[in-house]
Amino acid sequence: MPAVAASIDELQSVIERALEGDIRSPWLTPEQAAKYLKTTNGTLKSWRATGKGPRFHGSHRFVRYHTDDLDAFMRGGE
């Protein structure tokens, strides 16, 4: 099967949609995770510092939450 080359315009469109949030990722920033859980970013930060709350990935300035982990936390399965 021959490779399909994307045009610059098509690639630009994909990048713009990703930046606008049209392409959904299961990985959320702390701000997005707080909104997802209906809490505050400060609460999530406190939970991270005390080892409580939902599982998170990364450290310091690059923290991400996976929606599966947030759902498990909400169900009480942490």
* pLDDT tens by residue, 38-69: 999 999 999 999 999 999 999 888 999 999 99
pTM comes to 0.68
Q: In the predicted model, what is the mean pLDDT of residues 8-19?
A: 72
Give whichever of 1-10, 22-31, 47-56 has the largest mean pLDDT.
47-56
Q: In which order are the strands placed within the sheet that holds 57-59?
A: 27-28, 62-66, 57-59
d(CA 20, CA 59): 25
